[in-house]
């Protein structure tokens, strides 16, 4: 159904794609309330976080951004500015909402540095792809194997605590959450096709 691995050289040959939908930056309580109201309508969403990189050993920064995406809209919560309000905490714990991410252990550990919560409804693609015999677990490789294109990781090490995020940062952050959802949908379609 899918290849188990892919070489870096092969990924480099693929077309680059990114999220083309609408990006909504959530950086105050008005935009927060509007975003949470919209999110209630979606039972399955892509999920990711960004943290300003630290170049000193033992110095870990806190999560600055939480990205949540459907196929057309990405909500970028600037938690370094608004924190994690109670409604967002409840959403993170809600097991009726399926939240698709990659490498979620690290995200959950970092989130627990900010709040005490019990994660609910999270599905980690790194575990999910094992059922398809996919051995490559980085998001970039999973995207290449399952979707047949590549995503740019050029903004990964940028400053996510900047006063204003650049268009490139916004697009990168939205893409990471959106592409998790796309990989999940393609895997589910493959399951339905072969069952």
Nearest Cα neighbor of 177 from 31, 73, 60, 26 is: 73
8-194 to CATH, choices 3.40.640.10, 3.90.1010.10, 3.30.420.10, 2.60.40.1580:
3.30.420.10
Tens of pLDDT, residue by residue over 14-26, are: 999 999 999 999 9
Asked if pLDDT for residue 64 goes beyond 60, the answer is yes
Name the E strands within the chain: 22-26, 44-51, 63-69, 73-77, 98-101, 122-124
61 confidence band (pLDDT: 50, 70, 90): confident
- Global pTM reads 0.94
Q: What is the CA radius of gyration of the chain?
A: 16
Asked if pLDDT for residue 195 goes beyond 60, the answer is no
The rounded distance, in Å, linking the Cα atoms of 161 and 120 is 27
Kindly report the average pLDDT of the chain as a whole number.
Answer: 93
Instruction: Check residue 150 and report its DSSP letter.
Output: B
Tens of pLDDT, residue by residue over 131-153, are: 999 999 999 999 999 999 999 87
Tens of pLDDT, residue by residue over 95-120, are: 999 999 999 999 999 999 999 999 99
């Amino acid at each position: 159904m899918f290849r188990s691995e892919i070489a870096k050289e092969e990924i480099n040959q693929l077309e680059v794609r990114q999220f083309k939908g609408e990006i909504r930056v959530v950086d105050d309580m008005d935009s927060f309330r509007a975003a949470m109201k919209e999110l209630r309508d979606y039972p399955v969403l892509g999920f990711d976080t960004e943290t300003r990189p630290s170049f000193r050993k033992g110095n870990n920064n806190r999560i600055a951004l939480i990205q949540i995406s459907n196929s057309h809209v990405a909500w970028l919560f600037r938690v370094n500015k608004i924190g994690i309000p109670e409604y967002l905490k409840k959403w993170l714990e809600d097991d009726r909402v399926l939240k698709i991410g990659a490498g979620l252990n690290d995200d959950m550990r970092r989130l627990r540095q900010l709040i005490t919560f019990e994660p609910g409804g999270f599905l980690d693609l790194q575990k999910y792809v094992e059922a398809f015999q996919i051995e490559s677990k980085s998001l970039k490789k999973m995207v290449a194997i399952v979707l047949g294109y590549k995503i740019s990781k050029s903004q990964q090490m940028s400053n996510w605590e900047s006063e204003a995020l650049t268009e490139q940062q916004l697009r990168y952050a939205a893409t990471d959450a959106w592409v998790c959802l796309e990989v999940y949908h393609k895997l589910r379609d493959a399951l339905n096709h072969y069952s």
